[in-house]
Amino acid sequence: MAKIVNSWNDFDPLKRVILGRADNSVIPPEEPATSEKVPIDSEMRGMWGPRPTETVEKANAQLDYLAKVLQDNGVVVDRPTPLQWNQAIVTPDFRTDSGFTQMPPRDILLTVGNEIMASANSFRCRYFEYLAYWDLMGQYFEEDPEFKWTQAPRPRLTDKSYKHNYYDERITIEERLERTAAKDFVTTEVEPMWDAADVMRLGRDLFIQHGLTTNRKAMEWFKRYYPDLRVHAVNFPGDPYPIHIDATFVPLRPGLIINNPQRRLPEEQRKIFEANDWQIVDAAQPAHETPPPLCYSSVWLSMNCLVLDHKTVICEASEVHQMEQMDKLGMNVIPVPFRDAYPFGGGLHCATADVYREGGKEDYFP
Ligand code: DAV
């Protein structure tokens, strides 16, 4: 019996990974938490239904190419089992007209050591997304006697989980920024809700972004669930749509993090890094002025890279500035085209979830 699951951070040598698939992806109908994060000028407003087939095919071609690059670099690549998302999701507490995708496993699966936990997402359309990974979880469970297969407490996602009338079509970017600064988000605090992509793992420490998809109750839940880890709430006041930490604050190797220059970590929260000689560097500017069509994410997917080890990183092939910065920071860059996959839920880091990295539970902040 082999050890299959182990990962404590996003930079130690990557040996096994789950890589998403774009099949059957749907643009979900509006629901309390999603309208918040679709930019006001997005062509996706008011639109929903299955994504056009040719966009799915293009995304899958880029995902398959990424799989090949990973395999060529000695990484075992596992793929989820697509489900039919174009059907209603119904629980005793809510009903919504469709599911979403199994493209970004990073939002759904949190790997901490020998445990992979399915998250407690705040979007109703994502309620059953974890099922796409259940065959893999079952396989790891059979093959790795130490693998801990876990599911976070399932949120009920009743109307009480959201602030109603929080979102208003007329809200300006300035007002959004004020809300972010005031930590006033669309979710309430009746139950823990979190996306796994809001959690940044650094050995003994978890840095968790409080934003549109993860609430304070989740931080409290993490503290009690992992008494041996230190849980830090972080927030990035410059972001009008704060969702997921991996296009904002991205560690490259022990001691080095790139930070989105529009979403700087506040002084107070930098102290722990400075006190331990970590360098926080402004990330390079994105090469694009707009994201691709029908995309939820911002142009800052430029920094959503996948680190293979302390010296090697996969970057999106058109992100010339980010690649140049990586080079200057001493990283070898493997360029991979990925813009066709962005609309399905994000970039190279979003599209993957760690299964095995070498290394252990280091204390980087003693
Ligand atoms: O900048 O739009 C994208 C993160 C997707 N998982 C952004 C964050």
**Residue boundaries of the structural domains of the chain:** 14-166+173-357
Is 295 a known active-site residue?
A: no
Sign of torsion over alpha carbons 68, 69, 73, 79: negative
Contact of 249 with 273, CB cutoff 8 Å = no
Q: Does the Cβ of 229 fall within 6 Å of ligand 1?
A: no
pTM (predicted TM-score): 0.96
pLDDT bucket at 46, cuts 50 / 70 / 90: low
**pLDDT for the residue 17:** 98
Residue 45 has pLDDT above 70, yes or no: no
pLDDT bucket at 36, cuts 50 / 70 / 90: low
Ligand 1 atom nearest residue 107's Cα: 6
pLDDT bucket at 38, cuts 50 / 70 / 90: low
Residue 48 has pLDDT above 90, yes or no: no
Ligand 1 atom nearest residue 296's Cα: 2
- The beta strand positions in 173-229, using DSSP E, are 199-202, 205-209
pLDDT bucket at 360, cuts 50 / 70 / 90: very high
Q: Does the Cβ of 212 fall within 6 Å of ligand 1?
A: no
Q: Does the Cβ of 298 fall within 6 Å of ligand 1?
A: yes
Give the whole-number percent of the chain exceeding pLDDT 90: 86
Q: Does the Cβ of 352 fall within 6 Å of ligand 1?
A: no
Identify the weakest region by mean pLDDT among 170-184, 219-233, 329-343: 170-184
What mean pLDDT comes out for the span 34-41? 63
What mean pLDDT comes out for the span 287-307? 96
Q: Active site residue: 23, 144, 350, 354, which one?
A: 350
Q: Where is pLDDT greater, at 331 or 185?
A: 331
| Angle subtended at Cα 327 by Cα 363 and Cα 274, rounded to the nearest 5 degrees | 35
What mean pLDDT comes out for the span 5-22? 98
Looking at domain 14-166+173-357, which CATH architecture does it have? 5-stranded Propeller (3.75)
ipTM exceeding 0.85? yes
What mean pLDDT comes out for the span 51-64? 97
Interatomic CA distance for residues 83 and 15, integer angstroms? 27
- State in Å: Cα 343 to ligand 1 middle: 11
From the list 258, 249, 161, 172, the residue with the least C-alpha distance to 212 is 161
What mean pLDDT comes out for the span 16-41? 84
In this predicted model, what pLDDT tens digit does every residue of 235-246 receive, in sequence order? 998 888 889 999
pLDDT bucket at 182, cuts 50 / 70 / 90: confident
Bridge partners of 256, per DSSP, are 253, 279
From the list 150, 78, 160, the residue with the least C-alpha distance to 114 is 150
Q: Does the Cβ of 244 fall within 6 Å of ligand 1?
A: yes
- State in Å: Cα 68 to ligand 1 middle: 24
Task: Please report, for residues 76, 99, 101, 152, the alpha-carbon distance to residue 86 in angstroms, rounded to integers and kept in the order given.
Answer: 30, 6, 9, 25
Interatomic CA distance for residues 218 and 197, integer angstroms? 13
Sign of torsion over alpha carbons 126, 214, 191, 108: positive
Interatomic CA distance for residues 53 and 306, integer angstroms? 27
- State in Å: Cα 261 to ligand 1 middle: 14
Q: Active site residue: 23, 195, 340, 354, which one?
A: 195
Interatomic CA distance for residues 328 and 234, integer angstroms? 28
Is 288 a known active-site residue?
A: no
What mean pLDDT comes out for the span 265-269? 94
- Cβ contacts of residue 225 below 8 Å, gap of 6+? none
Chain mean pLDDT for the chain = 94
User: Dihedral angle at the C-alpha atoms of 119, 121, 124, 128, nearest 10 degrees?
Assistant: -20
- State in Å: Cα 297 to ligand 1 middle: 5
Give the whole-number percent of the chain exceeding pLDDT 70: 96
Q: Does the Cβ of 197 fall within 6 Å of ligand 1?
A: yes
What mean pLDDT comes out for the span 86-96? 96
Q: Does the Cβ of 297 fall within 6 Å of ligand 1?
A: yes
Ligand 1 site-directed mutation target among 300, 302, 305, most atoms within 8 Å of CB = 300
